[in-house]
Amino acid sequence: MPLGRVLSTANGSQCRFATFLPTLLKLAGMLTVRAPATSANLGSGFDVFGVALERPADVIRLEKADRVTIEMTGAGSQYIPEDPDKNTVGAVADALDAPARIQIDKGVRPASGLGSSAASAAAAAVGLNELYDRGYSREELVPIAAKGEAVVSGDAHDDNVAPSIMGGFTIATEQGVTQVDADIPLVACLPDIVVSTRDARNVVPETARVDQMVETVGNAAALTTGMHRDDPELVGQGMHDTVVTPARAKLIDGYEQVREAALAAGATGVTISGAGPTVMAACAEDDRRQIASTMLDAFGERGVDARVYQTRIGGGAEVF
């Protein structure tokens, strides 16, 4: 149908135009992609579990070009290099052999524990794959986006890029990615503290006792079952971790107080999101607002400014 006919249709024209818009932009060599923030580990699933969040998110605009160029705006963008060799999306564009002019509007603050670099890498992977008709599936794009993650963290981990690309709850292993569409209310409280991924990895214990391993496996199983059932109680129970989380908690001023306050306000489970410093709480829908307020107050009592996202598990990267 000609574009003029779509625009002139009396009833439902806006909806029909919105449906055709990504195709029209692609024909013009341009696309826009929104990729969500993520929370990795979830306590018991270190380097394996991850969830996509409804908010916040990164938005990137892609236009075919002869070489890769990057422009940054948004949260913490002044700290992110625009050199393609030092930016996550540059590595993704190189892996896909898809040069483009890339404009990144950061909605996910760097060093937040909410998969900031993963969101940009995921958006680039999905968008460039579409723009250049590379034909990769969403699961096949995960290791490609992880190459971008390696630029920042030094290692190619799938636990953040997988949910940002595929949505829902993901289990990323060497055998591939398992994805579950889950719907769990969450509260993400981001303090004005910086914890780098490298520092957070350096404090992870190299060994664990047998009883800790047994407990972790049990909690991971409970969390996975809870995701399948959309059960906040089981998910919260499964967030408990006695190996990695206590070591990383020492890097976050006020973590224990915030955790205790959130649990007292009705959270079913509390843990560190990714490398931190964001503190993530699972909860029932009716308790989410009170938990968010309580977590902010608890950080405030420690003299730490923070912001909070009342969110939930959401979908993956979207092209529009």
What residues act catalytically?
149, 197
Q: Is 9 exposed, middle or buried (0-12, 13-18, 19+ CB in 10 A)?
A: middle
Region for residue 248 given its phi and psi (left: phi exceeds 0; alpha: psi -120 to 50; beta: otherwise):
alpha
Report in angstroms the alpha-carbon separations of 158 from 50, 53, 74, 262.
9, 16, 24, 29
Buried b (16+ CB within 10 A) or exposed e, 148-170: bbebbbeebbbbbbbbbbbbbbb
Beta bridge partners of 64: 100
Nearest to 167 by CA among 144, 146, 183: 183
Q: Is 255 exposed, middle or buried (0-12, 13-18, 19+ CB in 10 A)?
A: buried
Lay out the sheet containing 306-312: strands in order across. Answer: 269-272, 279-282, 185-191, 306-312
**And the tokens for 23?**
């195709």
Q: Is 277 exposed, middle or buried (0-12, 13-18, 19+ CB in 10 A)?
A: buried
Determine the Cα–Cα distance for residues 9 and 22; give it in Å rounded to an integer. Answer: 19
